Amino acid sequence: MTESIIPQSRDTDIPGNITTVHAMGHFAVLLLTVLNRQKAVNMREFADHLAVFAFVTDESDPPSGLILAYWAGLIKEAAAQDCDRPDSPSDAGRGSRTPTHGPDAGSSGTAGG
């Protein structure tokens, strides 16, 4: 759902000081990677929430919305790469990834589970 609202922007589309925007985005990725590996934060869920927040923010403040969407995209990409790692916490043992209601309720998100 949220993937469709993350704009495919070029660096020239990002408002403000591009170096600062990139640095802050990469810092967020680093921080969330550490928290994800400690099973404190689910990076994919955080990226999804940030993408929705970016969409809402874009209504009143388009430059900020674009920056937030850029960061959401960075985090989502890093989450996908992190989950491909053999030592990644991935979906195993992560209660926050198993929906308690809705269309995916009861599925564990893992193969065979």
Model pLDDT for residues 59-79, shown as the tens digit of each residue: 999 999 999 999 999 999 999
Rounded to 10°, the helix 18-37/62-83 angle is 40
pLDDT at 107 over 90: no
Give the pLDDT of residue 89.
53
Is residue 41 exposed (0-12), middle (13-18) or buried (19+ Cβ within 10 Å)? middle
| Cβ atoms of 81 and 43 closer than 8 Å | no
- Rounded to a whole number, what is the distance in angstroms from the first to the last CA of the chain? 24
Q: What percent of the chain has pLDDT over 90?
A: 51
For the chain, the average pLDDT equals 75
52 compared with 83, residue with greater pLDDT: 52
pLDDT value of residue 101:
44
